[in-house]
Amino acid sequence: MDQQLKIEDLHIGNGKEVVRGALITTHYTGWLEDGSKFESSHDKGRPFQCVIGTGRVIKGWDIGLMGMKVGGKRKLWVPAALAYGERQIGTRIPPHSNLLFEIEVLEVLTRDD
């Protein structure tokens, strides 16, 4: 995998758009390059919420989810530099890991809501 974020839209949503500072609700699954799954909101039985574009999640998400719309599904290929870099995360994500995510946006809330 090269060191560039890659984005593939699997389904274009038609709801509210993800913008910087929005509270988003997603379902996601994350894999290492070897295909092993390291985490999934589906497996946890609940969606994941985060504020996007403000450094609260990995940079690959902050960049890669911008412009998605509610109902949309996207694949992100996130190079280590835009994920966790040199850090090991728990026992599942080794240092210098490139990551693959499939993410579905369920809800977008902005300050205007």
Q: What domains can you pick out in the chain, each with its CATH number?
A: 6-109 (3.10.50.40)
Residue 2 confidence (pLDDT): 63
Query: Tokens 């509610």 belong to which residue?
Result: 70
12 Cβ neighbours under 8 A, 6+ residues apart: 69, 72
Phi, psi (rounded to 5 degrees) for 65: -95, -10
Q: Give the pLDDT of the chain (113 residues) as one tens digit per residue.
A: 567 999 999 999 999 999 999 999 999 999 999 999 999 999 999 999 999 999 999 999 999 999 999 999 999 999 999 999 999 999 999 999 999 999 999 999 998 87
22 Cβ neighbours under 8 A, 6+ residues apart: 51, 52, 53, 108, 109, 110
Query: Tokens 């999934």 belong to which residue?
Result: 40
Tokens encoding 1:
């995998």
CA neighbor of 104 nearest in space, from 10, 6, 31: 10
Residue 32 confidence (pLDDT): 98
Dihedral of the alpha carbons of 55, 19, 25, 72, in degrees to the nearest 10: -120
Helix (H) or strand (E) holding 44: helix 41-44
